[in-house]
Chain A
Amino acid sequence: QLQLQESGPGLVKPSETLSLTCTVSGGSISSSNYYWDWIRQSPGRGLEWLGTVYYTGGTYYNPSLSSRVTMSVDTSKSQFSLKLGSVTAADTAVYYCARHPFTSHYFDSWGRGSLVTVSS
């Protein structure tokens, strides 16, 4: 059974870069059938899709965040990563990694989520 697990610092200072990693187990990150996503959730902004990475390294970012977001994949470690630069308190949220099938574009598997707080 596929499992996704987020990891990374729970506290980031304003203006710094938020970095998270998602480890995929129970399935292949190199499958051509799936894309890998980052989604966040906060009381103020609700659920917000941040971007998508494919096993080849191709990426798609939310246009509203694209200047601050970078995603990458490391197939040898079965991991994909998120970097969000120049963070502010508004970036405080639970960050989820997720997966969507190539054919359907709906998020059918999610990690448990990682709370990241932006504060000095």
Chain B
Amino acid sequence: EIGLTQSPATLSLSPGERATLSCRASQSVGAYLAWYQQKPGQAPRLLIFDASKRATGIPARFSGSGSGTDFTLTISSLEPEDFAVYFCQQRSHWYTFGQGTKLE
């Protein structure tokens, strides 16, 4: 099983600031990585797939980068609605998720 480790566990920022979230895979997943946003009481929402492609309707302030084992989700300027938990997910070998980063 491919493990995904996200850091930091919690990120404390203010609206307007830049957020940088990390996801590291236990072995190479190529570019087969996605990012999801989850708000309390809701299901996760797909933000980024194939490491850097924005899903339909996702604002341009969300961007993804990386390949192999190291990936980054960047939110260029935080809006109030961006404070949530973010998960990464790989599809290189079956499907596994990271443990999440809480953006507060």
Q: Which residues of A contact B (CB under 8 A)?
A: 46-49, 62-64, 96, 98, 104-108, 110-113
Contact = CB atoms under 8 A, between A and B. Distances in A.
Nearest to A105: B91
Contact of B96 (A49, A98, A108, A110): A49
A110 B45 CA distance: 8
B94 A47 contact: no
By secondary structure, the A interface counts as loop
A54 B63 CA distance: 31
Contacts of A113: 43
B97 A48 contact: yes
Interface string B74-104: 0000000000000101010011111110000
Nearest to B34: A106
By secondary structure, the B interface counts as loop
Q: Which of A47, A64, A108 counts the most chain B CB atoms within 10 A? A: A47
Contacts of B96: 49
Contacts, number: 45
B46 interface: yes
A1 to B, nearest CB: 12
A116 to B, nearest CB: 15
Interface residues of B, number: 22
Contact of A108 (B42, B55, B100): B55
Contact of A107 (B32, B46, B98, B99): B46
A106 B97 contact: no
12 contacts: A46-B87, A47-B44, A47-B87, A47-B89, A47-B97, A98-B43, A104-B49, A106-B34, A106-B91, A107-B34, A110-B45, A111-B43
